[in-house]
Amino acid sequence: MIAQLRQRLLALQRAPGLRKGPGTLPLGIPAIDTMLGDGLMRGALHEISAPGEAHLAAVTGFALGLAALSAPSPRLVLIAEDMALAESGALHGAGLDAFGLAPERLVMVAVAHRRDLLWAMEEALRCRTVNAVIGEIRCGGIDSVAARRLSYAAAESGALALLLRASPSNDASTAATRWIVGTARSVGTHGPGAPRISAQLIRNRRGPVGSWILEWSDSDGQFILATLAQPVAAPTLDRPHRQVA
């Protein structure tokens, strides 16, 4: 009897986004997928920060790469604050095309206030036909209530919710994963190559974290693990594999 009640309590207490539901989104890179538990969780909030404002393009690229995986031809909603669009530039359709995304399936929303951004993200997540919702915050944080609302909204619809930040933050959040993504040096000096980023998983509700260098592969239409010209230390796991209750 007690055990049964405990079970029910556990089921109720489960953090949003971790319940059984929409499933996962494999990145196609075994090293990362096993760490995430079969891939990035759908129907959950993921936070991607840039180490500095200049790396925002890499963050955008990573987010778009993830969004491109979410459906065969995904419908995206991108919500950004006016200031972010003015400072870092708006999405360029021709560049979007290179990530295998169709510009005509993107809706861009510019908002003046943070509360509008959160409202718009939530509304977009509740829309059944949207596959991925990307919100961009330039500075400051969002309160944990808002983050939890986003997580619940994503869990209900099964869409991918990505929150981009221009600088990393430590505030509490219900995000399923947290990444710090910056640009990585291209190989050789023959000119800049394909989009290449260093992705650092700093928080993973399903267990271990790590860091990788990824390169966008046009032919595969996904990120692949980059082969490095210089030898680097193997990515280490700084936490033992841990099951979340």
Partner 1 sequence: MLSLWLRRLSTDRIARLREKSREQSAPLVVAGKRNNVEVLTAVDDAAERLGLLPGLTLAQARAMHPDIEAAPEDIDADAVLIESIADWCLRYTPLVACNTPDGLLLDISGCAHLYGGEHELVADLGSRLEDAGFAYSLAIAGTIGAAWAVSHHGKPASYACGEERALLTPLPLSALRLPPATIAGLARVGLKCIGDIVDLPRAPLTARFGPEVLRQLDRALGHEHEPLTPRLPVAPYAAEQRFAEPIAREEDVLAITERLARRLQFALERRGDGARRIELSLFRTDGVVRRIAAGTSRPLRNPGEIRALFVERLTALADVLDPGFGFDMARLSVVVAEPAPPEQIGIAGGEDAAELCRLVDRFSARLGARRVCRLAAQDSHIPELAEAALPAQAVNVDAGWDAFRRYRKEIELSPRPLRLLSRPEPIEAVAEVPDGPPLRFRWRRALHEVIAAEGPERIEGVWWSEHGGPARDYFRVEDKSGLRFWLFRAGLYRDLPQGAAAPSWFLHGTFA
Binding site for partner 1 (CB under 8 A): 54-58, 60-62, 64, 75, 77, 85-86, 88-99, 102-104, 106-112, 116, 119-120, 123-124, 127-130, 182-186, 188-192, 195-198, 216
Least CB distance to partner 1 at residue 127 (A): 4
What's the CA gap between 14 and 63, in Å, rounded?
26
3-state secondary structure of 208: coil
What's the CA gap between 54 and 38, in Å, rounded?
32
Least CB distance to partner 1 at residue 115 (A): 11
Instruction: Provide the token pair at 120.
Output: 């718009």
Instruction: Provide the token pair at 37.
Output: 């538990």
> Which residue, 44 or 58, is less far from partner 1 as judged by CB?
58
> Which residue, 49 or 198, is less far from partner 1 as judged by CB?
198
Least CB distance to partner 1 at residue 216 (A): 7
> Which residue, 110 or 202, is less far from partner 1 as judged by CB?
110
Q: What residues contact 189, with CB distance under 8 A and at least 6 apart?
A: none
Per DSSP, 113 falls in state S
> Which residue, 177 or 198, is less far from partner 1 as judged by CB?
198
What's the CA gap between 28 and 72, in Å, rounded?
15
Q: How far is CA 243 from CA 5, 23, 36, 204, 240, in A?
A: 21, 17, 11, 11, 10
| Position 177, amino acid | T
Least CB distance to partner 1 at residue 85 (A): 8
Least CB distance to partner 1 at residue 88 (A): 6
What's the gap between Cα 55 and its chain centre?
15
> Which residue, 114 or 185, is less far from partner 1 as judged by CB?
185
> Which residue, 94 or 232, is less far from partner 1 as judged by CB?
94
Per DSSP, 37 falls in state T
Least CB distance to partner 1 at residue 153 (A): 13
What's the CA gap between 177 and 116, in Å, rounded?
24
